[in-house]
Structure 1
Amino acid sequence: MLQSKAKWNYSEPIDITTGLDELSEISPIIKKMLLQRGITTKEEANQFLSPDLHQLHSPEQLSSITKATERVHQAISNKEKILVFGDYDADGVSSTTVMLKTLLELGADCDYYIPNRFSEGYGPNEEAFIEAYKSGFTLIITVDTGIAAVHEAAVAKELNIDLIITDHHEVQDELPDAFAILHPKCSPEYPFKELAGVGVAFKFAEALLGYFPKHLLEFVAIGTIADLVPLVDENRVLTFYGLHALTISKNLGIKALKNVCKMNGNITEEDVGFSIGPRLNAVGRLQDADLAVQLLMSDDLYEATELAEEIEAINEQRKEIVNNIVKEAEQIVSEVEGVIVVAKEGWNEGVLGIVASKLVRKYDRPAIVLTIKPETGEAKGSARSIPAFDLFQNCMKVRELFTHFGGHAQAAGMTLPVENINCINEKLNEFIYKELSEDDFKQEIEITDTLNLSDISIELIKEISRLSPFGMKNPKPLFQIVEIPDNVRQIGSSKNHLKLQFKKEKTQVEGIGFGQGDLYHFISPMTPLTVVGELSINEWNGMKKPQIMIRDMRIDSWQLFDNRGRRHTEVDPYLHLDLLALTKEEKPLRSDLKQITYDTDQQFISKTDILFIFDLPDKLEQLEEIIQRAKPKIIQACYTVEDSAYLTSFPSRENFVWFYALIKKRKELDLKRELTAIMNAKGWSKEQIVFISKVFFELGFVKIDNGVIQINPNPNKRDLSDSKLYQERLNRIQMEKTLYYSNYEELRNWFSSYISDLQTAKEEIKEWI
């Protein structure tokens, strides 16, 4: 048995006969996926499968947008200086680019400012506003930030600077007193509340320009995907067209960035999420984010290439810093509690969100990672959460303990006095244990459907791609298949990846589990494996094959690993489990193994995860009793046979009759003198003749003295089966035949007859991996 790493949630059963009857051109699997997304009419399905720019909402529905637009045009007419105040992440950088390009197109006297993460922190700040005032700026437009800048808005007002806030982050208790706030969640008339920061900036750009700015869509796609907002409604449409714009982009910065990312062909949401976004984010994590804006604004090929290469180097540096902090953080996490809070002086605050994400994935707990600043007595950092725990709402319960705080349900940034760290940890642990059960801490996987292997094809995978771009609230579908793999092996230079081969009739599907090489030791032959993953197409040398990228797996049945006759048995992969070693007699074994023998008192044998059988029993019944007592989920057959009884010819009854007749005729037989002659005459081995003699002696048919056999003239009538020696030899032969010389399937069937009740003991299954 193998327990899944994550908690598997299955989509509610869907009756595909209840909707979308008109869509005969799509497969039942796709129809079911549309219904799962609440799409029940042909019109809704067509809109989803074929996104159209006409589905977008009017910017005029955003509250205060008319007022904000008029103020910007007024500033341009009056030749006022306008400052775009952005954020240092990919959403902030792309938002800044959208607004800056818009203002420049309108002929504005403008510049941009992105605060330094390390010296200024997140969001608008008083010092920056004062500097803007000194530089003659009379209008500041924030993008992807500002909704929590209550104090800074007051400062702007005192300085006679008009402040237009465009943002999408969670609205807090008090709104800033700004000239205008453009925010979907502050706009009752706006139908869609989940725009990214760049989406709000784009809406403002559309209102300012007076036309739909298709040339800015590529930046919208970057910020929307990188900021992990729901890819539904407007975000789906904007991203769909934005990805196409990225594919054919003429922007020199984007072309240079695609080049360092080695991107060719159609750009996907995964290209943005795993390559473009992280590189733009890396700049602001380690230094000023201006470099990223300069790249996207560049109109010089040589400059754009240099900037892209510099950003690539920064990203590599970021990876190294993250790895080092993760190692240090894991050393601090000695005991996993409800919420992990780790803090240390000297950690680079720019990467702490990534570190928190890695800790969440490893420990299945929300994580807050802070760098301590001894000069100010503060700690600053980021947090990431698990699906079941709303980090934003729970931190807001103790908002007074933070100097600064903001974010979403699953991610947040914060500054706090060092002395409040323990108190915050205690409070959050109190909240999380009240809200969640132990099962809630596990990562969750949403399973779209269960497929037969024969369902999987290149055509189906292409059809599924029509539901892209995938992201939040439109996740890439995960499918479950239950099959016995035809081949299992570890791949990669460190053997840290897993490759499975599934075959059934004409269908062949490969399964790839990146980072799951350790599970190789938990997959036994002829065992159904339940895997969950994403379907994709593997293309190599012009050949296309369907594959499933494995996200998680489990095995519901008990397992047998056949290591018979091998000198070495792997134990290390199983050290986190309960291990029991069965030997014939006490012997030196590694300390990880609890040891019992066939003579161990049954009351001292308890249930175990894995039973290593290192020695064979004298008779099958001994092993049967131990198996029924230990109830192992995995059996490792690790024994060998020496002096095999099974391979030694066992005398037939005719052999016994002939030998007895010889003794009876001779009255006396000296084996020392006649053994060789008998062996040559009958083709028997010495061991056979000695065995027959001992059986006759045990039954009282003969007497033996110094190798001389004499007939007993008046023996009791007894059958050969009355001989204990005879029975032991038969038992030994049967035991060896059953446990050693059987094939894998025969051995597994024998064990199954004694542990089949384990299949229903699900409540006893422990979480292993």
Structure 2
Amino acid sequence: MILLEAKFNWKKSTPADETQVAALAKDAEITPFLARLLISRQLTTVEQAQAWLTPTIEQLHDPNTMFDMAKGVARIQAAVANGEQITIYGDYDADGLTSTALMYETLAQLGAEVNYYIPNRFTDGYGPNVEAFNRLIDAGTQLFVTVDNGVAGHAAIDAAKQRQVDVVVTDHHELPAQLPDAFAIIHPRHPQGHYPFGGLSGVGVAFKVAQSLLEASADELSDALDLVAIGEIADLVPLTDENHALVKFGLQVISQTQRPGLIALMKAAGIDATTINEEHVGFGIAPRLNAVGRLGDANPAVELLTTLDEDRANELAKQVNQQNEVRQELVKTISTDALTQAEAPENQSQPVLVIHGQGWHEGVLGIVASKVVEATHKPTLVLSDNPDQGTLKGSGRSIKGFDLFAALNPIRDHLVAFGGHAMACGLTVAQTQLNLLTQTLIDAGKSQAIDVDQRATLSVTATLAANEITESAYQEVQQLGPFGMDNPQPIFEIRPSRVDNIKTMGSAKNHLKFMLVDDQQTSVPAIAFGFGDAIVQVAANPEDISVIGTLSANSWQGRTTYQLMVKDIQVEGVAIVLTRTNNLTKPLFARPATYLFFQGKLADQLQPYLSEGAKVIRVGVDELPAIIKDLVIVDCPPALTDLQQVLAATQVAELTTYFYERDSAFLSGMPSRAEYGKLFSFVKTHQNVDVGHQMAVLADFLKIDLNKLIFMIQLFFEAGFVRIESGVMNGISDPKPAKLSEMVAYHQRLQRIDAEEKLLYSKGPQLKAWLVEAMNQAV
């Protein structure tokens, strides 16, 4: 039974062959743990392992094997020699900005007459723009070099050619069926090319062009690898093949960078350059660079990356950081509104979402769409209304299994603007076509058989015990990095004996922190961002929890601890809340649950306490439902078997126990031989004892616990030692011999003591385990 279901499908890797592990560990002189990690990534030979763990410059591919490289470089060199004005035409995202900065520095190093232009997202749009090209030509541009764009710039490139201005395209984006008529197209996946790796980002291609222009090795251009690492990480290209080496070397360059703008930007972001990794770039540096282009003119970001003036660098870094703060606030505000729309009744039943609002900033709508998809697992368009123009403009994000581009492509002629691919798109639509857009997406959701309930998959590398989350394990995992697309961080499954110290974190209490405890009582911190709402289920069953996550280091005040960054949580079993009490108050019956009583008389007495919608079950009288969502067991059963029968006969989602018992048989215990003798002597010498009204007086006289005395008199009555009529007790002269231990009341007393000992006085974990076992006996 699942109390808290995992958000993802956990795809567990097939365990590596231990003979293969031992051989690789021995031959590569690494630990078996690292060998298993390498084998899980199909790095099975010593050569593959060494090339991955310690890449070299020699592993990088020859830039001159890229199609049109020689032609494009010759044209640029001729422009430099002839003093032609060269304009680098870039892009407003982090990959485009770093591409522009790298190409600008390269051409400046050659002594070129060079400037750069970053198109404005809102006025120029993405890629070559006819009006922008013409303005630049009017201002003196004689050669365009595009970076991180250009393969879809047919109109602008044709317009430049008509004015006798050449365009050298350097790009990495998807190639259209017909390429533009540029002077040269340098692209790692050019259909006529044979470059061995097609996964370079825009800045990766720019770096290759720089190598060829300067006739330099990658080692000689290592100072530029900081820009390469930032652009590649930001653009989410596959960190395999030469990208793995480029980013690994680039992070090393960043750790020692002398670039004033990068130093200032890291300081503003609170990043320690000496410990830089891909996460610092992906979540600290890249978003700040992206924020500038999302909100307006991105040209200052290129100046930040290329300036040699420390004062100017600090000023620009401050501006960039402020822009990022504005971007974060916009995303937060718009996301709140968008998620409210997504959860509206009319949208809950829809497989695809079209969400819009007036005045939403267009530059952040892609981020907002991603957040809605993450929350709802539905393909989503997020659009901003522009009543003055009668249009809506925005971005879409999709889920695996739903082709967003294919869904909208049939109506592209009805859209003002449209472009994208299976997982993302950008578009502008007239207000009058909004219904068509929405219905088209809904119909596509049905035709593509979209399953919004299908969970995304996370690959789990291996299972670890809490005591295996150590510094050495963390350091060995880091050797596989830098991590990113096609080289994700290893995800491990942990099945602790229990979790302790469960608490929420954050101002909104939307994060969770707890300790993973194993059989050796090793405790390891676990941080689960976004799982604050799961605290009830985690706390309800801390012994039946599985988590998956990545290993992380946390440094604070000079001390480093190692922890698990939780990606997902699953809690087995039933939510069991143990609330043992001998005082039944009205608040205990405030919620509309199902209240179960073993004593029907007690149920009648507590009827006024029950809230509206509450249900009552009297064991042995009322029929027990097959499924009960919220069951409260009010009183203690006369025997454990009675409770076991109840729990085996119904399926329970949430179980609360009060186990009320007014007079504890366990605490008073079984009578002693002396107490039996004292009562026996009393009944032989006293007649007409009013036990109906004077029982407490009798208990005080005999110095026997009242609860115990009542049981003893019941036992004597069953054995034929006394008779009771109308509440008056008299002894029987010459009673027949009888063994008290054979009486029904005697065994009932033992069962009651056993039940109370288990249900009222055992430790919580042991009782929960017993209750879960009893529920698992259900047929």
What TM bracket, shorter-length normalisation?
0.7 to 0.9
Q: For each residue in 1:526-585, what CA deviation from the matched residue of structure 2 results, as whole angstroms up to 9, or x when unmatched?
A: 62422211112334454444322111122344564433239999x9xxx9xx97554563
> Residue 208 of structure 1 corresponds to which residue in structure 2?
213
In 2, the alpha carbon distance for the partners of 1:386 and 1:726 equals 66
Corresponding position: 1:529 with 2:545 = yes
Corresponding position: 1:547 with 2:547 = no
> Residue 239 of structure 1 corresponds to which residue in structure 2?
247
Q: TM-score, length-normalised on structure 2?
A: 0.87
> Residue 764 of structure 1 corresponds to which residue in structure 2?
none
> Residue 78 of structure 1 corresponds to which residue in structure 2?
82
User: What's the CA shift for 1:635?
Assistant: 3.0
Corresponding position: 1:303 with 2:312 = yes
Q: For each residue in 1:11-64, what CA deviation from the matched residue of structure 2 results, as whole angstroms up to 9, or x when unmatched?
A: 244325348646341122322322332323322222111121221112222222
Q: 420, 436, 444: which is aligned to 2:457?
A: 444
> Is the 1:485–1:529 Cα contact (8 Å) retained in structure 2?
yes
Q: 397, 410, 413: which is aligned to 2:426?
A: 413
In 1, the alpha carbon distance for the partners of 2:356 and 2:773 equals 54
Distance 1:235 1:588, change over 3 A: farther
User: What's the CA shift for 1:648?
Assistant: 3.7
> Is the 1:253–1:298 Cα contact (8 Å) retained in structure 2?
yes
> Residue 498 of structure 1 corresponds to which residue in structure 2?
513
Does 222-231 or 262-271 show the bigger shift? 262-271
In 1, the alpha carbon distance for the partners of 2:693 and 2:407 equals 95
> Residue 89 of structure 1 corresponds to which residue in structure 2?
93
2:516 counterpart letter in structure 1: Q
In 2, the alpha carbon distance for the partners of 1:332 and 1:506 equals 47
Corresponding position: 1:115 with 2:119 = yes
> Is the 2:584–2:660 Cα contact (8 Å) retained in structure 1?
no
> Residue 191 of structure 1 corresponds to which residue in structure 2?
196
> Is the 1:447–1:532 Cα contact (8 Å) retained in structure 2?
yes
1:521 counterpart letter in structure 2: V
Corresponding position: 1:263 with 2:276 = no
In 1, the alpha carbon distance for the partners of 2:268 and 2:136 equals 35
Alignment of 1:291-440 (within 5 A): 291-333=300-342, 334=344, 335-336=347-348, 337-392=350-405, 395-396=408-409, 399-433=412-446, 435=448, 438=451
> Residue 279 of structure 1 corresponds to which residue in structure 2?
288
Partner of 1:118, secondary structure, is coil
Q: Which runs of 5+ in 1 are unaligned?
A: 762-769
User: What's the CA shift for 1:173?
Assistant: 3.5
Q: For each residue in 1:567-607, what CA deviation from the matched residue of structure 2 results, as whole angstroms up to 9, or x when unmatched?
A: 999x9xxx9xx97554563565667x763423597766132
2:19 counterpart letter in structure 1: T
Distance 1:167 1:401, change over 3 A: farther
Distance 1:276 1:590, change over 3 A: farther
In 2, the alpha carbon distance for the partners of 1:638 and 1:350 equals 56
In 1, the alpha carbon distance for the partners of 2:213 and 2:582 equals 76
User: What's the CA shift for 1:229?
Assistant: 0.8
> Residue 766 of structure 1 corresponds to which residue in structure 2?
none
> Residue 761 of structure 2 corresponds to which residue in structure 1?
741
Partner of 1:647, secondary structure, is helix
Alignment of 1:304-703 (within 5 A): 304-333=313-342, 334=344, 335-336=347-348, 337-392=350-405, 395-396=408-409, 399-433=412-446, 435=448, 438=451, 441-485=454-498, 487-492=500-505, 494=507, 495=509, 496-505=511-520, 508-523=523-538, 524=540, 527-558=543-574, 560-565=576-581, 581-582=595-596, 585=603, 586=607, 595-599=615-619, 605-608=625-628, 611-617=631-637, 620-651=640-671, 655-656=675-676, 658-669=678-689, 679=699, 682-689=702-709, 692-693=712-713, 702=722
Q: 13, 16, 19: which is aligned to 1:14?
A: 16
Partner of 1:611, secondary structure, is strand
User: What's the CA shift for 1:100?
Assistant: 1.4
Partner of 1:497, secondary structure, is strand
User: What's the CA shift for 1:706?
Assistant: 7.9
User: What's the CA shift for 1:290?
Assistant: 1.4
Does 553-562 or 462-471 show the bigger shift? 553-562
Does 623-632 or 545-554 show the bigger shift? 623-632
> Residue 251 of structure 1 corresponds to which residue in structure 2?
259
Partner of 1:229, secondary structure, is coil
User: What's the CA shift for 1:408?
Assistant: 4.8
Does 296-305 or 24-33 show the bigger shift? 24-33
In 2, the alpha carbon distance for the partners of 1:7 and 1:517 equals 20
User: What's the CA shift for 1:700?
Assistant: 7.2
> Residue 133 of structure 1 corresponds to which residue in structure 2?
137
Partner of 1:141, secondary structure, is strand
In 2, the alpha carbon distance for the partners of 1:223 and 1:179 equals 26
In 1, the alpha carbon distance for the partners of 2:264 and 2:404 equals 38
> Is the 2:6–2:570 Cα contact (8 Å) retained in structure 1?
yes
Distance 1:429 1:165, change over 3 A: farther
Q: For each residue in 1:636-669, what CA deviation from the matched residue of structure 2 results, as whole angstroms up to 9, or x when unmatched?
A: 3344443434334554576456434432334444
Partner of 1:256, secondary structure, is helix
> Is the 1:502–1:510 Cα contact (8 Å) retained in structure 2?
no
> Is the 1:170–1:407 Cα contact (8 Å) retained in structure 2?
no
> Is the 2:128–2:156 Cα contact (8 Å) retained in structure 1?
yes
> Residue 775 of structure 2 corresponds to which residue in structure 1?
755
How many residues end up aligned between the 2 structures?
752
1:531 counterpart letter in structure 2: V
Q: Which runs of 5+ in 2 are unaligned?
A: none
Distance 1:750 1:484, change over 3 A: closer
> Is the 2:515–2:525 Cα contact (8 Å) retained in structure 1?
yes
User: What's the CA shift for 1:308?
Assistant: 0.7
> Is the 1:498–1:519 Cα contact (8 Å) retained in structure 2?
no
In 1, the alpha carbon distance for the partners of 2:45 and 2:240 equals 17
Distance 1:532 1:715, change over 3 A: same
Q: 204, 228, 233: which is aligned to 2:236?
A: 228
User: What's the CA shift for 1:133?
Assistant: 2.4
> Residue 767 of structure 1 corresponds to which residue in structure 2?
none
Partner of 2:194, secondary structure, is coil
> Is the 1:390–1:409 Cα contact (8 Å) retained in structure 2?
yes
User: What's the CA shift for 1:161?
Assistant: 2.5
> Is the 1:602–1:626 Cα contact (8 Å) retained in structure 2?
no
Distance 1:677 1:537, change over 3 A: closer
Distance 1:746 1:716, change over 3 A: farther
